[in-house]
Amino acid sequence: MPILRKREIENLEQLSGEELEAFLDLLPAAQHTISELIDFVEDELYDAECNHSLQFSMRYMMENRLDFGKITSWLNNNGGYCDCKVLAEIAPIWRAKFGDD
């Protein structure tokens, strides 16, 4: 049996104290940067279809000179394989925990 690794973000709701700090320390960018990335992707997808890539996430990373390798692998590991998946898989859990800031 392969070991199924749970997506890290699925545990986010339960984290607090030191565990939450550890989660935040392991993020590929600051918490508010990830929140802004999610908001940016949501705004872009309001007028455009997802083309099954991370094109808008990448644009945000480029414009903000972020580390694409690290952020892309974090998004992928959490189910964000393309922009619409970032919104479907990551945004609700993220916002439930951190609100809209």
Residues within the interface to Zn ion (CB under 5 A): 50, 52, 82, 84
Neighbours of 89 (CB within 10 A): 18
With respect to Zn ion, which residue has the nearer C-beta, 84 or 93? 84
Q: How far is the CB of 3 from Zn ion (least distance, A)?
A: 27
Q: Which two tokens stand for residue 52?
A: 């099954």
> Which SS3 state, helix, strand or coil, does residue 29 take?
coil
Shortest CB 87 distance to Zn ion, Å: 9
Q: Where are the alpha helices (DSSP H) in the chain?
A: 17-26, 31-47, 55-63, 68-77, 83-85, 91-98
Alpha-carbon span 1 to 62, nearest angstrom? 40
Q: What is the DSSP letter of 53?
A: S
Q: How far is the CB of 81 from Zn ion (least distance, A)?
A: 7
Nearer to Zn ion among residue 20 and residue 48 (C-beta) = 48
Give the residue with the Cβ less far from Zn ion, 12 or 82.
82
Residue 100 C-beta: closest distance to Zn ion, Å: 22
**Nearer to Zn ion by C-beta: 23 or 42?**
42
